[in-house]
Amino acid sequence: ASFSSSLSLFPDLSFSLTSPMAGTTVSPTPLLKDELDIVIPTIRNLDFLEMWRPFFQPYHLIIVQDGDPSRTIRVPEGFDYELYNRNDINRILGPKASCISFKGL
């Protein structure tokens, strides 16, 4: 027996899961791989990404660190990502940086 299901994370994004037989490892099909970035605001290490690896690893992650910019946020190996903190936002946006709210500062 085979099954097919769809997991919708966003309105225009879904992952198709198909298994031709029970017990087969199913990996998601990355849709919009070259068109989609996933933005993750955080004040913590991103160990939780291990649980989401099958879904997030094919995509580019943009991680926005709130809180103390001198603190190092740990990202599990194997993810394609950029990490920005308050200092980066100030440098990139200059006087317009105040349009982004940072709760940790």
What does the domain layout of the chain look like in residue ranges?
1-31, 32-105
Q: For residues 98 and 92, is the Cβ–Cβ distance under 8 A? A: no
Q: Model confidence at 3, in pLDDT bands (50, 70, 90)?
A: very low
Question: Residue 82: what pLDDT?
Answer: 96
Mean of the per-residue pLDDT values of the chain: 78
Q: How many CA atoms lie within 13 A of 12 on its CB side?
A: 4
**Which pTM does this prediction carry?**
0.67
In what order do the strands lie in the sheet containing 37-42?
A: 37-42, 60-65, 80-84
Question: Residue 14: what pLDDT?
Answer: 42
